[in-house]
A and B are shown apart, each in its own frame.
Chain A
């Protein structure tokens, strides 16, 4: 496996690093597999290979999409909603990929987040990116409102963690898609990604006591420092936040 010719006088550095640099613990095989399996069963979180026409059938098991009771009394994440959301996101990304035949056409000029970008009319990739981004942000808004409420009461439950993880997958997919995202929207998605990651980790670990308090406080601080919720509300179309 290793190349012996490279393992000569310098191996002390490698040995030191093997012993002391990010030394991995035992692989949590079953834990990771459970999470992978859940994602595959959900089928709604589009991942890179599902771009294009075949994406239509991404949700192979509509019952795998777990519903979550949101703060507004309705059920968020019903099977149809998850599939529709995924389809919109995948369509946006697919359209963007398809339309990126002429990469030079990327518009960067000071497009305001608040104002619809007229340039996007000339660039279907930008339109697709905006469509996919707005869709992800719309789905994030009720989640973040819930997280804020949960943080105030001192706990994030596992369902909210799973909810965050689902949107996290979509946000990452979008960030990694190479679509010409408006820089401000990209920055917002990156900040959102961190909030979602922290939420999903806190939810998954089912923390209690001072450690939970400390992490939740940091989560809340992170949301406030970056003004994530307010920025999302500024980007998403008005009616979405007034159900």
Chain B
């Protein structure tokens, strides 16, 4: 069914239509949430909150942007709010992970040095660069989608990506021969 019709029906309370919208978009929302949060439970939480909020705001969706873009802007807003607050307690979260063995979920054959350095480098990016990098280079959003999601100009999105890459290139230059 046409997405606009699904949105209209869902806004009028049709749960099946909302489920259909959910099925179409949940993977990408979850993937973005996971890339941003790096924790399964928090990503689930962000995804859930995104769809609950989206449901309550469906009647406000005017169709100026694609539904997916609108949804991702909700995801981004929810994720940042959650992550900022959780970050203050990240140390505690890490303690939970190590105490419960979650940290051992890393792929056994991967190079721990590479993973640690990559994590440190990406996490060290200012949030505005990190988000654009994760959306564009990692999750495959284009600059138009990113610009509308973050409510910035496309040029701003490109500039931020460029800055993010430059910082990562510096931080990870010794891995370039292997990956370039």
Contact = CB atoms under 8 A, between A and B. Distances in A.
Given A49-B53, A190-B88, A218-B99, A21 B172 contact: no
Contacts of B115: 20
Closest 9 CB pairs of A and B: A14-B137, A49-B57, A49-B56, A24-B34, A12-B179, A214-B99, A22-B38, A27-B30, A12-B180
A27 B27 contact: yes
Contacts of B71: none
A108 interface: no
A230 interface: no
Nearest to A200: B45
A193 B172 CA distance: 36
Given A16-B172, A211-B100, A194 B85 contact: yes
B140 A2 contact: yes
B160 interface: no
Nearest to A51: B56
A47 interface: yes
Nearest to A27: B30
Given A3-B143, A14-B138, A16-B114, A36 B48 contact: yes
Contacts of B172: 13, 16
Interface in A1-21: 1-3, 6, 9-18, 20-21
B34 A36 contact: no
A22 B37 contact: yes
Nearest to B85: A190
26 contacts: A2-B140, A6-B158, A10-B137, A12-B179, A13-B169, A14-B136, A20-B118, A21-B35, A22-B37, A32-B30, A35-B44, A36-B55, A40-B18, A40-B52, A48-B56, A49-B59, A60-B13, A172-B81, A175-B85, A190-B88, A193-B85, A194-B89, A194-B92, A197-B86, A211-B100, A214-B96
Contacts of A1: 140-142
Contact of B48 (A22, A39, A48, A49): A39
A60 B13 CA distance: 10
B104 interface: no
Interface string A197-220: 110010000000001001100100
Contacts of A104: none
Given A1-B142, A10-B169, A169 B52 contact: yes
A176 interface: yes
Nearest to A219: B96
Nearest to A43: B56
B49 interface: yes
A239 interface: no
B63 interface: no
A9 B179 CA distance: 11
B85 A215 contact: no
B92 A47 contact: no
Contacts of B37: 22
